Structures are given as C-alpha cells and as structure tokens.
Amino acid sequence: MSSLFDLTGARALVTGSSQGIGLALARGLAQHGAAVVLNGRGQARLDAAVEALRGEGFDALAAPFDVTDQKAVEEAVDRIEREVGPIDILVNNAGMQFRAPLAQFPAERWEQILATNVSSVFYVGQAVARHMITRGRGKIINIASVQSELARPGIAPYTASKGAVRNLTRGMCTDWAQYGIQVNAIAPGYFETPLNQALVDDPDFSAWLENRTPSRRWGKVEELVGAAVFLSGPASSFVNGHVLYVDGGITACL
C-alpha cells in the first residue's frame, strides 16, 4: 500500500517555497522520496531553506526566478529540465495577499495580485506542461484557497484571483489529461504562516475564526502535506480537475 504514496525517483518544483506553505510542502514531498527544487525571489531566504532541507538529508536545489515574468519562467524551467532533470511534479504555490476596502483598492495592487496569483500559475504550468506532454505523464498541483469559494471584506481581488486558480485548474485538466497529466488543486483554509501572522496575533480575528471553523482552530502547515503527497503520487492516477479543500470544515457550514 505504501507504493501508492511513494515519490522515490520523482522531482518536484515548488514555487514560492522559501517559507510557509511552500516550504512545508517541499519538505513533505522530500520526506516521501522526491528530489525538490525550491523557487523564490529572495536569494538569501531561498538558500537558507535549501540548506535546511539538505541538513535533514533531502535532495534539494534552489531555482530563483520571478514567476510573474513569462520569459524568465520559460528559461528557468528549460534550464532545470536540461541541467537537473525532468520535472515530474509541479506545485504552483507562489501567491500574495493585500487587504483594503474595495472602493479604495489600489489598481496597482490589483494588477500585482493577478500577476502573482493567476498569471504565475499559467506561466509556470504551461512551461512545465510542455515537457510533461512529450513524456506523457506529470502531476500539477495548484494552490487555491477557501477564497476560491468564499469572500470576506477587504480581499475581493484575492478572492477573484483564487477563483481563477480553481477554474484554471479545471481548464488545465481539460486540455492536458489526454497526455497523462493530472492537474488538481489544494484549497487551504486558514493556516498559521508568516503571511498570516498579523491575523494569528489578532485576538478578535482568531476568536472569529475559531468560532467559524468546525475544527475550532487554525491549521498547521504540516497538515497540508498529506493532500500534496496524495495528489503527487500513484494514488491519484485517476483524480483530475479536482479541488481538495483542507480547511477544518469551514466551507462545509454557514
């Protein structure tokens, strides 16, 4: 049964993986046998993440490139394929958030959110899929959100971007499943991460979240690993175009 979740011999590229959810997913895939390529724009933080994984005995490399720059993405993916080896698993994790009332939401932040949260998924997904198509196999996991289905005040552009990731996942599946590629999404609920630290530290917000979530708590990033391993390995060979919510039940109830 363990062979269903064995990633030995596979190589995974995880975008936005120098900290938080991305780093947790990279570590989790490595724990199940995958070699991992970490991506980010901050060289120092990325190098530290790679060294931490290597110190734990894992096969890890750094690939610093801007996921919102299509040319840079294509060059980086081609270089990895040529110099390191085939990318068997792609986790499109890079993302950002900015909170402001919608009537005053800055246009430049709107464009930045769309570029980071949506365009990057298209750019990296397309570049990697071109290689996967020639091999007739591959796994792509896009990181969506509970905001793919729900909205809260002050984050309408983020909600729009994550709704786009949900449907882009379905579109990628529709086009690429015929080539042996499984494209799915993980939709996290509220997790304790560096990007959410201000909300974690806000007693009013944490009280609201604990009352709103059936599990009555924040998620831990390690609790996303099982979903990622499932969608990366043989166990999900006929799962395609699916959005897996890992949210403590928040999308299940009013």
Residues known to be catalytic: 158
Return the DSSP state at 81.
I
CB 26, CB 103: distance < 8 Å: no
Give exposure, 123-135, as e/b (b: 16+ Cβ within 10 Å).
bbbebbbebbbee
**C-alpha atoms less than 13 angstroms from C-alpha of 1 in its C-beta half-sphere:** 0
Burial grade of 177 (CB within 10 A; 0-12, 13-18, 19 or more): middle
Amino acid in the structure at residue 58? F
- Of the candidates 110, 111, 109, 37, the one whose C-alpha atom is nearest the C-alpha of residue 77 is 37
DSSP per-residue codes, 13-24: EETT-SSHHHHH
Copy the structure tokens of residue 196. Answer: 């959410």
Report residue 114 as tokens.
Answer: 């769309």
Nearest CA-CA partner of 234 in 166, 110, 137, 144: 137
